[in-house]
Each structure stands twice: as C-alpha cells, then as structure tokens.
Amino acid sequence: MIGNILKKFDDKFLKTEPRTGKLYAVSALFDTPDQIIHAAEKVSGAGYKKFDVLTPYPVHGMDGAMKLKPTGIGWVAMVAGMSGTTLAFLMIWWMVGVNYPNIFGGKPYFNLTASIPIMFELTVLISALTLVGSLIAIYMKLPFNANPLMDTEFVRRVTSDKFGIYIAADDPKFKLEEVRAMFEELGSSAVSNIHEAEYDKGKTNNPLTDKKFVGALVGTAAATAMISYFVLNVLLFLPPFDWMHRQPKVLPQTESKFFKDGWSMRKPVEGTVARGFMPYEFKGMPDSMVVATPNPLPVTQKVLDLGKKRFDTYCSPCHGFYGKGDSRMRGQFPVPPTLHSQKVTNWKDANIYHVITNGQNTMPSYQSSISRDDRWAIIHYLRVLQRSQNAPDSDVEGK
C-alpha cells in the first residue's frame, strides 16, 4: 500500500520533462575527488568558460582548479550592511531626538552608545535579507529557476556518490566530439549529452502572476504563522514541554509555603563548613582571646590600592575618608571613635581584623561583605593613614 502511494506521488510530482533535440551540455561523472580536481584543471586550462562542477560535498581546492574569480556577493553584503546601519541611525535619531524626545536616566536625547545594539541588529537583518534576495533573484534567476540538468541521471549521481562536471553547448570553444573525447580521456565513468527540456509553463510565463503559485505562497505563510503561534504560545506551555517554564525553584525574596517561617531564602545549616574552608577561629570571642597573627599580605602598591578602595567603600561612611571619625552619615548613625587613637594605633593587625570580622559595640560584622584578603588590605591602608597623621621627621623628604 505504501509502495503504491509513493509510486503515485512519483508519477505526479517527479515525472521527467520531455526533451527537445537541442543540445544543452555534455556531462561527465568521476569516481574520486582527485579525478574531478584534475578534470576541472584540464577544462579551465583548455579555455572553457561556461562549465560547472557538482559534487556531493565540498572538495578542497576546487576554486583554484576552476580558476574562479572572487564573488561579488561580499560587496552586496557591505552595501546592505552600511544601509542598515544608516537606516537604524536615522530611525533612532528621529524617534528619540526629534519626534518624541525624552530624557532617560540623565542621558541625552539621542544616546549613541545605547543605540549601537539596535544599529547592529538592523545591520545584520538588512544584510541577511538582501543577500538572500540577491541569491534568489540574481544568481539563481528566480522565478525562472528551471534548468535542463534537473531530472537527469547526472544530477542524481552528483548529489549522491559521484563527482560531475559539464560544459555548456553555448561555450565559444564547445565542439561536441572534442568535449566527449576529453572527458573520456580523463577517465570519466559516464559521459552524457544533456538536451533542453520542454517545460509546461501553463497559462503564464511568470509564476508570480499565477493564481495557484501566489495562493500556495499565501497558504504556506498562513500555515507557518499558525503553526509557529501554536508551538510558541500553546505547545511549549503544556507538559512535558513546560519544564523550563515551570521549574521547581524559588526566587529571591519570595514567599515559601514549604517552610514554616514562610521564607524561601534559607540560611546555611548552623555548624556546617564548606569543603576546603577554615572558619574564623575567634568568632564571637572577646578581643583579649585573639592570637596576634601577622598580616599575611605584603605591603605593595597593589595591596594598598585595594585597601583604599575597600576602606572608602565600607569604612569611610562612618569613620571618614581619613579615619578621623568624621562620619558622613549626618547623625543617622552613632559616630565612631577616631582610628588614630593610641589604642587603635597600638593594636596588632590581628586585633583590627578581629573587629572587622566580629564587629564591636554598634559596629556590625563585615565578614559577609568583605573577603578575608580585602580585610587584611584595609588594615595595611589604615596603617598608612595612621602613619600620615603621625609621621616622624624621618619620613619627611630630605631628613
């Protein structure tokens, strides 16, 4: 039954067009890539211009063997791309700078930096559409896309397991006997004459004005739109295709009905330690229990720059940029003592590290905000601030 259906389909849609007595080209089939490369070199070297090579897959070196000139499609892409860039530039400039000017986030009416992604997208879009249109309309000569090579044994083989070459009969150097003799001398497994086909053009010579052709295009477009809408808006939201849309997860700051406290965000289990991580051993202990371990970071310009950056970010709002206790909080938080006091100056680096990590009095712990190395870098920078406020004469240049 299936065989009968396929046979009826072949008889209706894959029937071979009748041929005329006019010769279109002479074709030759070869068995290996080396043979087709040699044949292409021979044909191009003999001065033939109207010939082509067809292979089931790309063959390296074929462009050189055929002596093909660089294609001009790159210039089409460049002109189309520049047109897309210019069109996007003018469109954005007109919309946000002239027709409906608005200030977003303090930016100017026409912000070139923010417009670059849109300009890039339109550049790619116009270039791609123009290239496809050019290939279809100019290089493939649609809608007149019929070719006498279609429905021939030559095309069936070169799209499967053979390598083929043909020379058109309207080539200035074409002579039937010489071409066939050359192909046979090159070792072709099959040399054939291909004649022009008699095409049934129907009632019109242009498919673009044919009602059936236009109707098929409209029907295809409508079917594609409906199928796309169904897949993207209905099918993907049905099980089991909705596994990406409906994931078993919780979002930050959302309510949870699983945990009693209603919070979806959970703290780590108390007492657990991450693999390879050593917790701070003096956490929660008084300052007197801290062992005076040295600062593990070297005093370098890079470390001091890092310490200054972190100090200005986390410490200066309360302690001031120079650690003098001149808070920038405008009375919204208790003013801390100066970091230049004799107590803090005489503290070991480990004691200051302990306060940053553990907190003290109204100062909270910065353990979760500042990494360990950054805390030690802050201490190095703090020592620089303290030295700058109590510099001895020996630090003055020339002393």
Whether the full predicted model's pTM is greater than 0.85, yes or no, is: no
Evaluate whether 358 touches 283 at the Cβ level (below 8 Å). Answer: yes
Residue 164's nearest CA partner among 57, 36, 25 is 36
Using CA atoms, how far apart are residues 9 and 35, in angstroms rounded to an integer? 37
Residues 337, 319: contact at Cβ < 8 Å?
no
Pairing between β-strand 163-168 and β-strand 19-30 as defined by DSSP bridges: antiparallel
**HSE, side-chain direction, 13 A CA sphere, residue 20:** 10
**How far from 170 is each of 65, 66, 176, 202, 369, CA to CA, in Å?**
22, 18, 11, 27, 80
Query: Are the C-beta atoms of 197 and 151 separated by less than 8 Å?
Result: yes
Q: How far apart are CA 109 and CA 102, in angstroms?
A: 6
Q: Which of 50, 29, 242 is nearest to 154 (CA)?
A: 29
pLDDT tens track, the chain, 399 positions: 677 776 665 665 555 667 778 899 999 999 999 999 999 999 999 999 999 999 999 999 999 999 988 888 888 899 999 999 999 999 998 998 888 887 776 677 888 888 899 999 999 999 999 988 888 777 666 666 678 888 889 999 999 999 999 999 999 999 999 999 999 999 999 999 999 887 665 555 666 677 887 888 899 999 999 999 999 999 888 888 888 777 777 888 888 888 888 888 888 888 888 888 888 888 878 877 778 889 999 999 999 999 999 999 999 888 988 888 888 877 778 888 889 888 888 888 999 999 999 888 888 899 888 999 999 999 999 999 998 887 777 766 655
Q: Are 151 and 10 within 8 A, CB to CB?
A: no
Q: Which CATH architecture has domain 287-392?
A: Orthogonal Bundle (1.10)
Token output for 345: 């100056």
* Positions of CATH 1.10.760.10 in the chain: 287-392
